């Protein structure tokens, strides 16, 4: 069994001109845990997510995954580092089928260049079959088995988000980054998603870092929660600890309470 590495965010600072989006933020995602990153609007959640996933480069500080320093890695090297990520606005090809979209996520694990694939050499054919079989398993696990050959454009929103999740899992990550997976979902889709995320964690044993606005979802499934406010870390603990933290209550009451409930 592969060991799941710890993700360490170490004193990360990120500035946009005069604005400090992240101010010496440090937290650790323990191996196999479901860790949520929350905070009011503009707190720095997306900035932090983007630093971890290599979209933004931290001004100072480090991001480490196990023994790897991933601070300066670009987003295209994520899969190689064992990180799968979902997107807030799914970056799927709407006209392609579910199967083809998820197979694209598998690309990072594919050996051989386009010449050997184009020539359909026997080992590339075998490799393709193996990848397709695994992708079918992942889609099956996520309840997409009967939709494999449908174009993504024909799917309801909740199912399209599952395809995005399937594509992130297709890289066989040890760390899964989920960027507001419940955004735009109705209550039933959100409840199903919560169940799926828990199943992914239990079945695959991987670590999951979740950036999410839906407090109900986060409080219900996270093992640990890191709270940001104005780019600073104001709390880090279990859902019960975070819920009772006066600074967290103040930060959330300072914004629209309904919006964050
Ligand atoms: N590319 C950018 N250029 C300039 N400022 C930015 C950029 N991205 C984010 N910011 C600013 O950095 C701060 C943190 O933004 P960020 O999007 O990380 O917060 P957030 O917690 O994800 O907010 P939300 O919940 O509204 O998505 C905000 O003041 C935002 O305006």
110 is a domain residue:
yes
Distance CA 207, CA 217 (A): 17
What tens digit of pLDDT does each residue of 181-193 get? Answer: 888 888 988 999 9
The token duo for 144 is 């997409």
Q: How far is the CA of 125 from the centre of ligand 1 (A)?
A: 45
Do 7 and 59 fall into the same domain?
Answer: yes
With CA atoms as reference, report the closest residue to 171 among 261, 219, 104. 104
What tens digit of pLDDT does each residue of 21-38 get? Answer: 999 999 999 999 999 999
Do 148 and 71 fall into the same domain?
Answer: no
Distance CA 148, CA 151 (A): 8
Containing structural domain, residue 120: 91-173+182-205
Do 115 and 198 fall into the same domain?
Answer: yes
Do 192 and 110 fall into the same domain?
Answer: yes
Do 21 and 79 fall into the same domain?
Answer: yes
218 is a domain residue:
no
Mapped onto helix, strand or coil, the DSSP state of residue 86 is: coil
Q: How far is the CA of 37 from the centre of ligand 1 (A)?
A: 14
Pocket test for ligand 1, best of 14, 47, 232 (most atoms within 8 A of CB): 47
Do 146 and 52 fall into the same domain?
Answer: no
DSSP string, 1-57: -PPPPPEEEEEEEEEETTEEEEEEEEEEE-TT-EEEEE-STTSSHHHHHHHHTTSS-
Complex ipTM: 0.96
211 is a domain residue:
no
Q: How far is the CA of 154 from the centre of ligand 1 (A)?
A: 32
Q: Is 44 in the pocket of ligand 1 (CB under 6 A)?
A: yes
The token duo for 88 is 């807030």
The token duo for 177 is 């980054």
Do 97 and 196 fall into the same domain?
Answer: yes
pLDDT band at 260 (very low <50, low <70, confident <90, very high): very low
217 is a domain residue:
no
What tens digit of pLDDT does each residue of 178-228 get? Answer: 999 888 888 988 999 999 999 999 999 999 999 988 888 899 999 999 999
Encode burial over 60-94: b for 16+ CB neighbours within 10 A, e otherwise. ebebbbbeeebbebeeeebbebbbbbbbeebebee
Mapped onto helix, strand or coil, the DSSP state of residue 225 is: strand
Share of the chain above pLDDT 90, in %: 66
Do 43 and 110 fall into the same domain?
Answer: no
Domain count along the chain: 2
Q: Is 42 in the pocket of ligand 1 (CB under 6 A)?
A: yes
127 is a domain residue:
yes
Do 154 and 258 fall into the same domain?
Answer: no
Helices (H), ranges, the chain: 45-52, 78-81, 98-105, 114-118, 122-141, 157-169, 187-204, 215-221, 239-243, 246-253, 257-260
Sign (positive or negative) of CA dihedral 144, 174, 29, 228: negative
With CA atoms as reference, report the closest residue to 251 among 222, 220, 225. 225
Q: What average pLDDT does the structure give for the chain?
A: 88
Would you state the pLDDT for residue 196?
A: 93
222 is a domain residue:
no
Partners of residue 81 on adjacent β-strands:
none
The CATH number assigned to the domain holding 193 equals 3.40.50.300
What tens digit of pLDDT does each residue of 220-249 get? Answer: 999 999 999 999 999 999 999 999 999 999
What tens digit of pLDDT does each residue of 56-93 get? Answer: 999 999 999 999 999 988 888 888 889 999 887 667 88
Do 41 and 125 fall into the same domain?
Answer: no
Distance CA 166, CA 260 (A): 28
Return the CA Rg of the chain.
Answer: 19
Would you state the pLDDT for residue 201?
A: 93
Do 79 and 95 fall into the same domain?
Answer: no
């Amino acid at each position: 069994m592969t060991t799941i590495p710890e993700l360490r965010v170490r004193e990360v600072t990120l500035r946009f001109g005069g604005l400090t989006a992240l101010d010496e933020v440090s937290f650790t995602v323990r191996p196999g845990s479901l860790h949520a990153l929350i905070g009011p609007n503009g707190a720095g959640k997306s900035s932090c997510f983007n630093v971890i996933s290599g979209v933004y480069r931290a001004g100072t500080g480090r991001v480490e995954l196990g023994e790897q320093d991933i601070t300066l890695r670009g987003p295209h090297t994520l899969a190689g580092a064992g990180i799968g990520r979902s997107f807030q606005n799914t970056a799927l090809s709407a006209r392609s089928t579910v199967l083809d979209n998820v197979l694209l996520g598998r690309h990072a694990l594919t050996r051989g260049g386009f010449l050997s694939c184009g020539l359909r050499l026997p080992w590339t054919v075998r490799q393709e079959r193996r990848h397709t079989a695994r992708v079918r398993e992942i889609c099956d696990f996520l309840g997409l088995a009967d939709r494999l050959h449908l174009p993504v454009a024909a799917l309801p929103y909740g199912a399209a988000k599952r395809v995005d999740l399937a594509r992130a899992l297709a890289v066989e990550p040890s760390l899964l980054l989920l960027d507001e997976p419940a955004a735009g979902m109705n209550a039933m889709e959100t409840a199903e998603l919560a169940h799926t995320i828990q199943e992914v964690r239990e079945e695959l044993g991987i670590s999951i870092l979740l950036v999410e606005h839906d407090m109900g979802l986060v409080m219900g499934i996270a093992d640990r929660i890191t709270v940001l406010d104005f780019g600073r870390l104001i709390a880090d603990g279990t859902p019960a600890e975070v819920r009772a933290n006066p600074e967290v209550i103040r930060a959330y009451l300072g914004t629209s309470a309904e919006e964050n409930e």
